Amino acid sequence: MGNPLPSSRAAEAFPAGLRVLIVDDDPTWLKILEKMLRKCSYQVTTCSLATDALHILRERKARFDIVISDVNMPDMDGFKLLEHVGLEMDLPVIMMSIDGETSRVMKGVQHGACDYLLKPVRMKELRNIWQHVYRKKMQELKEVETHSIDEVINILRNGSEDIEDRHLIDETEMSSMRKRKDVDNKEFVDQELNDPSTVKKARVVWSVDLHQKFVNAVDQIGFDKVGPKKILDLMSVPGLTRENVASHLQKYRLYLSRLQKQNGGTCGGNMQSDHINKTIKGKFGLKSSTNVQQDWELTKYACTTENFQTHGIVANAAHVSEMNRVAPAQVIASKKALVNDAQLGLFLSFKGMLPSIREKACKPLHDERPVMQLMQYPEQENYSVLEGYSCLANPDRDHEPCFDHFPSSQPLITSATCTNGKDMKDLYEMKPLQPAMPPMACTIDSVSIQVKHGLVNLQDTGAICKLEGSPSIEDCYLDETCNQGCFPLTYEVSLKSKSDSDSMLEDLHLYSVQKLSYLENVSCTGTEIYQYIDSVPITEVQRINLCEDSEPSGEYLYDPVDYSIDEYLFS
């Protein structure tokens, strides 16, 4: 709607013209719902695939006011779509299903659905969906009203970005900030401030100059530490909002991942990670942005394992798989899971990146190559990318062979590790791994380097692989949050026998395939992680948890990334 604001004039027009997006794989229902909504004088767009829906929501200039989606869809779980929409577009989402079991409805609510309709849906129920849109706008407006404009701007720009800024926001703001997933709220408020007559979000045109400033800012900050607020501050472009930067950053990461893919994977995953992270964030019920970031990190890791492949962290997994560790398998598996859902653009990169992984997720990797995956680094292009974006070796390339063949293996890791040469050593020493794989060590090194970003803190358990500088990091956000010790993503790499690994990989594979959740494949043991991560995924992850090794500590901290890395290290 053009004028959703609750002015009296708007109120009359409202809710006619409400822009609704319906997503349902059942063509009969799609037709019926479309007709019903049209009869309510709403503007309807239909979609039978969740991935198409996300694409439309992301790409279309025309905005939507509300999304209605079925829960069971072939390409993506409705709850995942729900998370994505909530995270990225902050639109109200209504879920629908023939299944009205309390647990399902609860799941919908937990994932952020603003309503849950049971099929067969009556027209009178659809007639009232405008209330969700209206309610949201009311909340947003209230936030504007409670603070002076300057205060609001300040809060918006500084507030939920970092923890340290939190003090700038008063509790109300913070809670309302938390409610929204930040970005849209800010956008809304910004827009509101600029043009109170409409709540349409301003569109920023990213000119070459602006983009150059953006890239410079990112380079300056360091890809692994980059965050929208920091970039915004560095760029110091008046009128630019954090949200603009955030979305641009996301796109940038995607772009890089695509580039990486083309180049054999240098950085690919960042963008994806972003998405994944976002998804994860949503999954866990974003809290304040800071928390979210943390969560994200966690999740990122979780995802990462999946993403590992793409980001190199996955590579770790790959390595792990090679090592016949489950971990890698997990990652791969999860990757698969990701891939499955990742019809989304986000995951596309993953998919592309790790096609092999998908197929071969369970393949045991060669010992000598374990690290290969990650090892993209040897090319160092990754590495540089890493610096900027902590791109992990693009798994897809390496992963292609699914760990089977590690590209030229050389322990790319060594190269990659260059950054963390010492890390590696540390790592290596940390665990009395079977010395065996020096190359592994190398890779791990690289891996660790990458992983490091996030959260991996090696722990005493011995097999801990310290992953520093998460490679894709942005994706892994871990580094931001993790470093704070949010979650000690340490994992133990236990060397398992090849056969074990193989079967584990298989299991993981299955698991991952079946589950679309990101964390599924990640086995996280760290308690910290639990704090941040929704318990559901963790349990899922646990299932896949490989650990069984006789490794010393036998503790596997969750961090899929870590896990894989450990695996490699210790394999």
Give contact residues for another protein (rule: CB under 8 A). Answer: 25-29, 31-32, 35-36, 39, 70, 72, 97-99, 119-120, 122-123
Smallest gap, in angstroms, from Cβ of residue 519 to another protein? 20
Q: Which residues contact 461 (CB under 8 A, 6 or more apart)?
A: 490, 492, 552, 553, 554, 555, 557
SS3 492: strand
Q: Which is nearer to another protein, 6 or 120 (CB)?
A: 120
Nearer to another protein, 179 or 543 (CB): 543
Please report where in the chains the tokens 């293996």 appear, as a residue.
409
Nearer to another protein, 99 or 145 (CB): 99
The DSSP output letter for 373 is: G
- In whole angstroms, the minimum distance from the beta carbon of 35 to another protein comes to 5
Whether the Cβ atoms of residue 464 and residue 567 lie closer than 8 Å to each other: no
Q: Which is nearer to another protein, 74 or 196 (CB)?
A: 74
| CA nearest neighbour of 90 among 162, 125, 127, 139 | 139
Q: Minimal distance in Å, beta carbon 124 to another protein? A: 10
Closer by beta carbon to another protein, 39 or else 135: 39
**In terms of CB distance, is 30 or 473 closer to another protein?**
30
Least CB distance to another protein at residue 97 (A): 8
Task: Find the shortest distance in angstroms from Cβ 123 to another protein.
Answer: 7
Q: Is 110 left (phi over 0), alpha (psi -120 to 50) or beta?
A: alpha
**Structure-block tokens of residue 445:** 């090194």
Taking the complex as a whole, the smallest distance from the CB of residue 98 to another protein amounts, in Å, to 4
Separation of alpha carbons 98 and 405, rounded Å: 46
The smaller minimum CB distance to another protein, of residues 333 and 427, is found at: 333
Nearer to another protein, 58 or 119 (CB): 119
From CA 439, how far away is CA 158, in angstroms rounded? 45
Six token digits for residue 57? 């929501």
CB atoms within 10 A of CB 199: 23
User: Is the Cβ of residue 119 or residue 179 nearer to another protein in the bound state?
Assistant: 119
Name the CA radius of gyration of the chain, rounded: 23
CB of 562 to another protein, least distance (A): 31
469, β-bridge pairs = 452
What is the identity of the amino acid at 136? K
Nearer to another protein (CB atom), residue 109 or residue 123: 123
User: Which residue type occupies 439?
Assistant: P
Closest CA to 353 of 383, 417, 310, 390: 310
Residue 505 contacts residue 361 (beta carbons within 8 Å):
yes
- For the chain, how many helices (H) and strands (E)? 28, 5
What's the closest the beta carbon of residue 73 comes to another protein, in angstroms? Answer: 10
Alpha helices, H only, 400-553: 412-417, 421-430, 438-451, 498-514, 527-532, 535-544
Find, among 294, 538, 568, 326, the residue nearest to 438 by Cα.
568
Least separation in angstroms between CB 33 and another protein: 9
Beta-bridge partner residues of 21: 45, 67
Which is nearer to another protein, 28 or 550 (by Cβ)? 28
Residue 486 structure tokens: 């949010």
Name which of 467, 482, 303, 450 is nearest 386 in CA terms. 450
Which regions of 421-550 does DSSP assign to beta strands (E)? none
Shortest reach from residue 29's CB to another protein, in Å: 5
Minimum distance of another protein from residue 104's CB (angstroms) = 11
Report helix, strand or coil for 66. Answer: strand
In DSSP terms, which residues pair with 68 in a beta bridge? 22, 94
- Give me the least distance between CB of 115 and another protein, in Å please: 18
User: What's the closest the beta carbon of residue 26 comes to another protein, in angstroms?
Assistant: 5
In the complex with another protein, the residue whose CB is nearer, 27 or 196, is: 27
**In which region does residue 90 sit, left (phi positive, over 0), alpha (psi from -120 to 50) or beta (all else)?**
left
Among residues 5 and 95, whose Cβ is nearest to another protein? Answer: 95
Bond prior to 27 in cis (omega within 30° of 0): no
Six token digits for residue 455: 């959260």
